[in-house]
Structure 1
């Protein structure tokens, strides 16, 4: 049986975990006290590892996952012959699962943890109930859906018209925003995300390293010159950052660029 002290310590731990979740995710950080109260009791803070599957194509989406801190999830579309390509990546600026659809629906893409860490998981039932009870929650998820769609559309344009070095630099900038300067990523995984051969990625990384923009280690890429990397990247990175600020920003309702 738990004593009074044990109950108090448990309540404090749960409160600290909730504070970590709502401070470590840019969507949740916009919630008012009233909006937070609608989903906080229904959510749970979990730890993820690299390679954990968040969504599987064709399976029902039963919960939404909000990456916290440096956690990053990659959404990929799989093709015949074992090929796949990343169509979007989501970190602390958003959520994965059931955001665009209303209620339970089958997942279209595969979502896999790329950088492990904490996530805040909320069941679809609890999230849909909160959206019905709060205009703010309903609106912010509509706005994030707009941002996510913009990311997918920008990726299509980027993959079609921009060079692999430009795409690689853009991806590393997004990853740095979410995970910090030290990005745990093998070159094999990076090649899969970009949809190119590993030898191509090796050449790109060597080029960026020779310019002093990144350094590499075993399974790690470290950004050493962010300004230089931005100059190397295509315009897609800044366009998405501008759009996030316009539709969501720090208030959840966006604002002028």
Structure 2
């Protein structure tokens, strides 16, 4: 099933998945599409199959910075659906792809009747909060090269070797000047780690990029595995067994 391409939906038991499936569809997510604005309610819940969603904070002076990524390993909008809260940040499509989508009210109805599904969604929300905290520390303490390599490796895990992004967009997500990103990108390309042309980055040697990244990449993977089991950050469980322990 297409829905099982998402790691969270792949862990939902058959009964809950059937209940969700009554209003669960598949949509294409386009680059730059805004799924939520800051302090606005979120009417739909998204379970990406591929591509990447970015949670970004916008400041009054025009600066923005990414605080977290959501890909095939996660979900956006579930926490907001459960307690009728608004989005705390702007969420946009960074890399296009498909996603399963369900009406927020329907997800809430199904989840409140299933302690198992509720526990699963809460586990992801704990991971996402931990990811945001790790990103905060990373942005404050690590070099632009380390942060950029971490960002590229994380994107590689979620979207593969070919990444449709501009230096301007990357700088915006990292909260730095474009000239800083340009300098690092040129050096990485010179050393054979990546290749770059306008609007497109290809990771040539992912192992070298990993070595140049900071500790935060591995930390985020371990945080995910802490919630869903060893190796969970690399691939979803096959079928519904084994299930994570709640």
| TM-score of the two chains, using structure 1 as the length reference | 0.87
User: Match of 1:84?
Assistant: 64
> Map of 1:35-184 to 2, 5 A cutoff?
35-69=16-50, 71-99=51-79, 102-184=82-164
- Structure 1: stretches of 5+ with no match in the other structure: 1-18
Distance 1:171 1:26, change over 3 A: same
Q: Give 1:8's aligned residue.
A: none
Instruction: Determine if contact 1:100/1:142 at 8 Å carries over to the other structure.
Output: no
Q: Could you tell me whether the CA contact under 8 Å between 1:103 and 1:125 is conserved in 2?
A: no
Q: Which residue is 1:207 aligned to?
A: 187
Q: Secondary structure at the match of 2:222?
A: helix
Say if 1:247 and 1:254, in contact at 8 Å, map to a contact too.
no
1:165 is paired with a residue whose SS is helix
- Report the CA distance between 1:254 and its aligned residue: 6.2
Residues 149 and 210, structure 2, Cα contact 8 Å, conserved in 1: yes
Residue in structure 1 matched with residue 10 of structure 2 by the alignment:
29
Q: Say which SS state the counterpart of residue 114 (structure 1) adopts.
A: strand
Residue 32 of structure 1, CA deviation: 2.3
Q: What is aligned with 1:253?
A: 244
Contact map agreement 2:55 2:66 (CA 8 A) in 1: yes
Q: Which structure is richer in relative contact order (CA contacts within 8 A, separation 6 or more)?
A: 2
Q: Deviations over 1:61-120 (max 9, x none)?
A: 112111112x21111111011111111111111111232662322212001111112111
Q: How does 1:11-22 map to 2 (within 5 A)?
A: 19-22=1-4
2 CA distance for matches of 1:51 and 1:182? 17
Deviation at 1:140, TM superposition (A): 0.8
Measure the CA separation in 2 of the matches of 1:26 and 1:135. Answer: 19
Q: Which consecutive segments of 4 or more residues in structure 1 shift more than 6 A?
A: none
Q: Which has the larger radius of gyration?
A: 1
1:44 Cα deviation from its structure 2 partner = 1.4
C-alpha distance in structure 1 between counterparts of 2:153 and 2:243, whole Å = 23
How many correspondences in the alignment? 235
TM norm structure 2: 0.91
**Unaligned stretches of 5+ in structure 2?**
none
